[in-house]
Amino acid sequence: MMEENRIEDVLSFPILLSERIRNSVSEAGTFQADCTELDKQADRLSQMLRSSVRLSTAAGAAFYDRPARRIAADLSKNLDRALTLVRKCKGRSVLRRVVTIVTQADFRKIQNLLESSIADMNWLLSIYDKDSIVFSLPPIASNDPILSWVWSFIASIHLGQLNDRIEAANELASLARDNDRNKKMIVEEGGVPPLLKLLKENSSQEAQIAAAIALFNLSDDQERVLLIVDELGIPIIVQILGDSPMRVQIRVANLVSRMAEHDNVAKEEFARENAIRPLVTLLSFEPFMDDPYQKPQSIHSIVQISKEKEMNSNHRSHLSQHRKERENETVEVKHELKTSCAEALWKLAKGSVSNSRRITETKGLLCLAKLIEKEKGELQFNCLMALMEITAEAESNADLRRAAFKTNSPAAKAAVDQLLNIVNDSDNPSLQIAAIKSIGSLAHTFPARETRVISPLVKQLGHRNQDVATEATISLVKFACPENFLCMEHSKTVIEFNGVPPLMKLLRGGERTQLHGLVLLCYLAINVGNSEALEQARVLNVLEGAERTVAAQYPELKELVSKAIYHLNLYHAGALPHRQSYNNIP
């Protein structure tokens, strides 16, 4: 992508055209009065352009040049047309005048174009006036009034007084909430950098809230989230998250959730900036005075810990400053902040091992467990979903699983206790499903003696909600599958807790329920084929019937079903099965 010319150079070109028009007017042999009028219009435009150059020079990097560039490009075209027309009026021979025909209508057309350019320049200079926001429409945006408003609002955020900057940010937030076209326009016209700057400044709580809401409304698309990342917005967001009044922190936590939800790059950038630490701190309202990290395993972790300790020292005075404000806030505001922080942790943990690890390292696991126990409604749900995503990452990452969910870890025990409480006592299927999924993700961490985690899952096989029963089946599969070292012991526990009868009923459920129920039944047959419970439930007959249909519907299960039939025949028929193709199954 080519680098843009400096705004001073862009504005200088139409000034040069104005000078050329003046020189050509002095040589005009025909339509001298009309040429003189064009010269006056060009001179007026030249003066406005020079004013714009002075403003841009004085403002420096704060000068908002998007509308100036657009208007200067349109104005240059009109001045070039005027110059061409004036040159046609230069004194020439009679023959040349006949060949080059110029009419009064040509002058009226160009004069109208220049008047429109003058109106555009008047509008441009007005939006750089720091006194108020401009809501009028320039001719260049007559067919798209939203564009002129976006320009005006962004310019006000750059250059306006504080009240105007707040109003302009709120207006951009409102436009972004309306539709995707407005969002795209705000981003393309350079609205993100000034909003980040406004968010970073500590001059006004209202200004930070307005900026955070506007950025939140823009952040529902991966491309726009990446733009915020590219504008170095994440360090600003994390800084404000850890050092602001609570009402600002609520909006910033919501922004973190939205960005993490829509882009994985942003999610990992938040991990690098350690957004987890302030979120967990706010969730507990207790700053961690001891070192929350485990013994570092790499130079990178040592450097990161040193960086965070330095940040903690620098921000201690700021945190103290906001402590009194926090204590004076209403219970509703405190609850809303916790709810927003829990959601942010949920979105950050989803699909991210690094963020999940940081949550467990900053005592977040224990904090989530306590809130799941004490809270209800959205806050409890968000905490549970965060825990579900952490366990999902632990399932796929052995290092995280061993570090965070050791059997002797108080935080891990507290988390599992609350998951079991939800499974046993909750009457909300959504909560039960999340808790059941979490327990299933931790299936590899439980020893054989930990039968208390299997009993609630077996109980849910008979749940009246088929989705809950299906999730219980899926989780039990993770206990009974061969990838689990203790699959035989866990399978025996499932049968001991009378899991076979409700499992047989699930085979009459929907297609998804049947599929997972069949898989679990096969694993039970393979692991505990000599069980009387399987024989009494006539599982062998069920599996033989399933074998005839499974090949067509689920060909990937054919081998598993055949293996289960083999094991049941081995124990219950007293001899090897007649099917020779399975004689080599162990």
Which backbone phi and psi does 85 adopt, to 5 degrees? -65, -45
Note the Cα 405 to chain centre separation in Å.
28
- Distance, in Å, from the CA atom of 189 to the CA atom of 168, rounded to the nearest integer, reads 14
Over 60: is that where the pLDDT of 183 sits?
yes
- Distance, in Å, from the CA atom of 73 to the CA atom of 11, rounded to the nearest integer, reads 9
Reported as a single tens digit per residue, the pLDDT across 1-52 is 456 788 999 999 999 999 999 999 888 778 888 899 999 999 999 999 999 9
Whether 475 contacts 437, CB under 8 Å: yes
Reported as a single tens digit per residue, the pLDDT across 406-451 is 888 899 999 999 999 999 999 999 999 999 999 999 999 999 888 9
| pLDDT above 90 coverage of the chain, percent | 66
- Distance, in Å, from the CA atom of 308 to the CA atom of 311, rounded to the nearest integer, reads 5
Over 90: is that where the pLDDT of 279 sits?
yes
174 band by pLDDT with thresholds 50, 70 and 90: very high
Q: Which two tokens stand for residue 145?
A: 């009034």
Q: How many residues does the chain have?
A: 586
Q: How many CA atoms lie within 13 A of 114 on its CB side?
A: 29
- Residue found by looking up tokens 């050509």 in the block: 24
532: buried, middle or exposed (CB in 10 Å: 19+, 13-18, 0-12)?
Answer: exposed
Average pLDDT, stretch 180-195?
A: 96
Neighbours of 227 (CB within 10 A): 18
Higher per-residue confidence, 529 vs 156: 156
- Distance, in Å, from the CA atom of 281 to the CA atom of 337, rounded to the nearest integer, reads 11
Q: The pTM is what? A: 0.85
pLDDT at residue 291, rounded to an integer: 37
324 band by pLDDT with thresholds 50, 70 and 90: low
pLDDT at residue 321, rounded to an integer: 58
Average pLDDT, stretch 260-282?
A: 93
pLDDT at residue 551, rounded to an integer: 61
List beta partners, residue 28: 90
Mean pLDDT for the chain? 87
* Lowest-confidence region among 41-45, 266-270, 305-309: 305-309
DSSP per position, 385-432: HHHHHHHHHHHH-HHHHHHH--TT-HHHHHHHHHHHHHHHH---HHHH
CA dihedral 128, 134, 139, 142 (to 10 degrees): 140
pLDDT at residue 104, rounded to an integer: 86
Q: What HEC string does 273-310 produce?
A: CCCHHHHHHHHHCCCCCCCCCCCCCCHHHHHHHHHHHH
List beta partners, residue 90: 28
pLDDT at residue 57, rounded to an integer: 87
Over 70: is that where the pLDDT of 323 sits?
no
Reported as a single tens digit per residue, the pLDDT across 229-238 is 999 999 999 9
* H/E run at residue 74: helix 66-88
Over 60: is that where the pLDDT of 320 sits?
no
Higher per-residue confidence, 203 vs 205: 205
pLDDT at residue 102, rounded to an integer: 80
Over 50: is that where the pLDDT of 583 sits?
no
Reported as a single tens digit per residue, the pLDDT across 388-403 is 999 999 999 999 999 9
Reported as a single tens digit per residue, the pLDDT across 325-361 is 666 788 999 999 999 999 999 999 999 999 999 999 9
- Distance, in Å, from the CA atom of 466 to the CA atom of 487, rounded to the nearest integer, reads 25
316 band by pLDDT with thresholds 50, 70 and 90: low
Average pLDDT, stretch 508-533?
A: 90
542 band by pLDDT with thresholds 50, 70 and 90: confident
Question: Going by C-beta distance under 8 Å and a sequence separation of 6 or more, which residues neighbour residue 521?
Answer: 503, 504, 507, 539, 542, 543, 564
Note the Cα 79 to chain centre separation in Å.
46
Reported as a single tens digit per residue, the pLDDT across 70-106 is 999 999 999 999 999 998 887 654 544 444 678 889 9
Whether 476 contacts 467, CB under 8 Å: no
In 3-state terms the chain splits into helix, strand, coil percentages (rounded to 5) of: 75, 0, 25
Q: Which two tokens stand for residue 552?
A: 């067509």
578 band by pLDDT with thresholds 50, 70 and 90: very low
Whether 351 contacts 396, CB under 8 Å: no
539 band by pLDDT with thresholds 50, 70 and 90: confident
